[in-house]
Amino acid sequence: MNPHKEQTMRLQKGKPMEISILAEFVKLVETCSFQQTAELMNLSQSALTKHIHKLEEELNITMFDRSQRSVQLNEYSQRFYPYARQILAAYNEGVAALQEMNAQEEGSITIAYDPLLGQYGVVDILEDFSLNFPQHVLNTVESYKAAEMLANKKCDFAFVSEADADDTAFSKMIFRTDHLAVVMKKDHPLANSSSISLSQLVNERFVLHSNHSNTPHDETRKFMELCAQQNFKPNVIAESHFTSTVLHYVQKGRGVAVLNRMHIPDTSTATDLAVVDISPTVRTYLYMLYPRRVISHSAKDFLHYMVECCSQ
């Protein structure tokens, strides 16, 4: 007998389901992992577990089959999932409609950007727009989930790295182009080279950039792809979320670093370091994402401003 068949569904009156918990349920169905869902939703695993238990209590249904290491969908979670997604989509569309009305009335615009793009002049762009268009209220949000904010209609534009620019639901514009380079101590034998190939780095130890999530950092991903293409297995001795820490490893002689050129601070302030481009050139593109239909006057002005900036 299926143990779930013995359950009866009685939604408790007076306890409306919370949208945030519904969003967590949807993400848990998609990942089948409490740990991954907690990371994506910026929650502790214990908080996520409590929320899912609360949802199950409200519905009087066990939505997942749990073991010590995994979570599996059952017939109830599979049936409820598409409806939960529809509810979330409708809610987000309703919120976006209200925000759009508010933006049109107030002449405001919200820009989200990945914190890793600080070295690419995003803040300068936003400041310059504010100076040239003082009639618009510019709200900025620094977030590792800028693309997700745009998808949920919580911002008008999102500046993101290449890995987050695959969503075909949005228009996108390249606003910066970068390329990989090797950072080494100035007394390194290759420090005065015009460029460096992987074959010249065969005996090197590498310090790489890691990401805040489980996905590889764009720089590291592109470097490892290049290595795979050339059947080169790099000796990676350390990784760090922070560029400053990566460079500190290099300064201490632990190895060489591979970073995007514009991620590397001016070597005039770090006189013991040298930067040499990798050959063949490995390019990285930074994007601005925006809805296919831009409505408010402030958003249209910002889009036109960005077109002019990127065409120069």
Q: What is the per-residue pLDDT across 63-96, written as a single tens digit (0 to 9) for each?
A: 888 765 678 899 999 999 999 999 988 888 888 7
Please tell us whether the domain made up of 3-95 is placed in CATH 1.10.10.10. Answer: yes
pLDDT for 267 equals 60
Please give the Cα distance from 183 to 198 (Å, whole number): 14
CATH topology of domain 177-284: D-Maltodextrin-Binding Protein; domain 2 (3.40.190)
Given a contact cutoff of 8 angstroms between Cβ atoms, the answer to whether 270 and 239 are in contact is no
Q: Which residue has the higher pLDDT, 214 or 256?
A: 256
Span of 83-87, 249-253, 263-267, 277-281 with lowest mean pLDDT? 263-267
Please give the Cα distance from 136 to 109 (Å, whole number): 7
- For 76, other C-beta atoms within 10 Å of its C-beta total 17
pLDDT for 16 equals 58
Please give the Cα distance from 137 to 216 (Å, whole number): 35
Please tell us whether the domain made up of 106-175+285-311 is placed in CATH 3.40.47.10. Answer: no
Please give the Cα distance from 169 to 150 (Å, whole number): 10
| Overall average pLDDT of the 225-243 stretch | 91
Residue 184 host element (H or E) = strand 170-185
In the chain, CATH 1.10.10.10 sits at 3-95
Give the rounded percent of residues in the chain with a pLDDT score beyond 90: 46
pLDDT for 15 equals 52
pLDDT for 213 equals 64
In the chain, CATH 3.40.190.10 sits at 106-175+285-311, 177-284
Give yes or no for a cis peptide into 280 (omega within 30° of 0): yes
Mean residue pLDDT of the chain comes to 85
Given a contact cutoff of 8 angstroms between Cβ atoms, the answer to whether 299 and 133 are in contact is no
Q: How confident is the model at residue 41 (pLDDT cuts 50, 70, 90)?
A: confident
pLDDT for 272 equals 86
pTM across the whole model: 0.62
Which residues neighbour 167 within 8 Å (Cβ) at sequence distance 6 or greater?
147, 151, 289
